[in-house]
């Protein structure tokens, strides 16, 4: 932890976002554990990533094992699974940093992506409510999972990082800098995660119009 | 209208957003009318702007007169006034393009800016409901009013433009290009205005942290 080198778990990490972030973090020298409800699927995903990142440290494990072994857990599953997944983990994430990557969205034919309403305000605030003993940080919601999975692609954009825990926020901002050329932007309190999460359906809809993988940059900094 | 040269009204335009947009449009050669509930205040604002943009075409008028005389009306008052102002205008905006610049927000001590919930989804969708015979376009919500008012400042960022009216959207995207170096980005349907409006409180809070006038840019285009 002194050198900011730690075990990073990607819970529900067999999807594009989890694979992409695990790959980039492993390529930067971090120890990545792909978590899944199914340990076999997790191991398969880890093996596939190792073909792109040979010699790097990527393993697969059942979600609860990944959570228990890590210092930082990334939530990289769809919003629908957040409450049940976190509640099932019991106290495994107590005292740990939890990076909520989730942007609650629904897709409708003809309408595209829409933000799902979340009673807590945002997925990240809901995660903090479910995990009062963890330090929840919202980040990476607007980053293209497709581009993360292409290690040759230089990421162009900003990651707005929101949290009510200052030290955890600094650590996650340092993790953002490990992915070339992403830039972390201090986005203030966790209450601001709502606005960052809702940028994702906008980007998804812009992607459909322009046939791109859009990201955002905060200008004026 | 053929040459995209038209009378632009800035309703409730004596505030920073209205002044800034009117100034920039007048500097680009457009005819700007500052509207206000109070014709005297509107004329004062127009005279002040003419000191920065001498020889340009800026006038002041009571809101209803400004609405009646224009081809394109910008809504540049706080959200709280939207319904009453638009309803009071009756049919003056029928058949016209209405650019909703409003980002519904509230400021709370210690918490900063928060998005106000709007039943229609967004201020822009609400305006379209109130004005079924107008072509509502959502734009400019994320642009710094302070920087708009400094004609020497090159604007750095994107204006995401959302509308259900394709031709109106194209015209407003052309108006965006008149402000150096703003870039219009087609943001799809008016339903996406919700996400764009909610970027504004995020930017306001980022401004407070970083002591800047932040804007956004869509990367990957």
pLDDT in tens, B55-71: 999 999 999 999 999 99
pLDDT of residue B87: 97
Q: Average pLDDT, stretch B77-92?
A: 96
Among B111, B144, B194, beta carbon nearest to A191? B111
The model's pLDDT over A12-69, given as tens digits with 9 standing for 90+, comes to 999 999 999 999 999 999 999 999 999 999 999 999 999 999 999 999 999 999 999 9
Confidence class for position B79, pLDDT limits 50, 70, 90 = very high
Residue found under tokens 């509308």: B163
Closest CA to A217 of B163, B16, B142: B142
**Interface pTM (ipTM) of the complex?**
0.93
Please report the number of interchain residue pairs, chain A to chain B, with beta-carbon separation below 8 angstroms.
111
- Residue of chain B nearest A110, judged by CA positions: B189
Closest CA to A21 of A3, A45, A38, A37: A45
Among A194, A206, A221, beta carbon nearest to B210? A221
Angle between helices B39-52 and B16-27 (to 10 degrees): 50
Confidence class for position B5, pLDDT limits 50, 70, 90 = low
Gap between the Cα atoms of A211 and B6, Å rounded: 33
Ramachandran bin of B107, using left for φ above 0, alpha for ψ from -120 to 50, beta for the remaining angles: beta
Q: Given a cut of 70, is residue A168 above it in pLDDT?
A: yes
Q: What is the mean pLDDT of chain A?
A: 95
Q: Given a cut of 90, is residue B123 above it in pLDDT?
A: yes
Most B CBs within 10 Å: which of A162, A219, A221, as the mutation test of the B interface? A219
What is the sign of the dihedral through the CA atoms of A125, A131, A134 and A139?
negative
Q: Given a cut of 90, is residue A4 above it in pLDDT?
A: no
Q: Given a cut of 80, is residue A3 above it in pLDDT?
A: no
Q: Do B219 and A192 touch (CB under 8 A)?
A: no
Q: Given a cut of 90, is residue A187 above it in pLDDT?
A: yes
Neighbours of A117 (CB within 10 A): 9
Q: Does the reported pTM lie above 0.90?
A: yes
Residue found under tokens 């390529």: A27
Q: Given a cut of 50, is residue B4 above it in pLDDT?
A: no
């Amino acid at each position: 932890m002194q050198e900011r080198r730690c075990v990073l778990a990607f819970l529900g990490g067999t999807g594009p976002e989890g694979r992409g972030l695990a790959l980039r973090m492993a390529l930067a020298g971090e120890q990545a554990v792909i978590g899944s409800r199914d340990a076999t699927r997790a191991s398969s995903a880890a093996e596939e990533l190792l073909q792109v990142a040979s010699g790097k440290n990527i393993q697969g494990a059942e979600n609860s094992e990944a959570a228990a072994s890590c210092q930082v857990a990334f939530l990289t599953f769809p919003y629908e699974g957040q409450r049940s997944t976190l509640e099932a983990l019991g106290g495994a994430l107590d005292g740990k940093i939890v990076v909520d990557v989730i942007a609650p969205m629904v897709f409708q034919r003809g309408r595209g992506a829409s933000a799902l309403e979340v009673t807590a305000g945002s997925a990240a605030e809901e995660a903090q409510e479910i995990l009062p003993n963890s330090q929840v940080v919202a980040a990476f919601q607007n980053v293209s999972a497709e581009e993360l999975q292409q290690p040759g692609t230089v990421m162009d954009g900003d990651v707005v990082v929101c949290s009510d825990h200052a030290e955890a926020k600094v650590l996650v901002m340092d993790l953002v800098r490990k992915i070339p050329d992403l830039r972390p932007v201090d986005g203030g309190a966790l209450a601001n995660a709502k606005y960052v999460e809702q940028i994702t359906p906008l980007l998804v809809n812009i992607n459909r119009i322009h046939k791109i993988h859009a990201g955002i940059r905060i200008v004026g900094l």
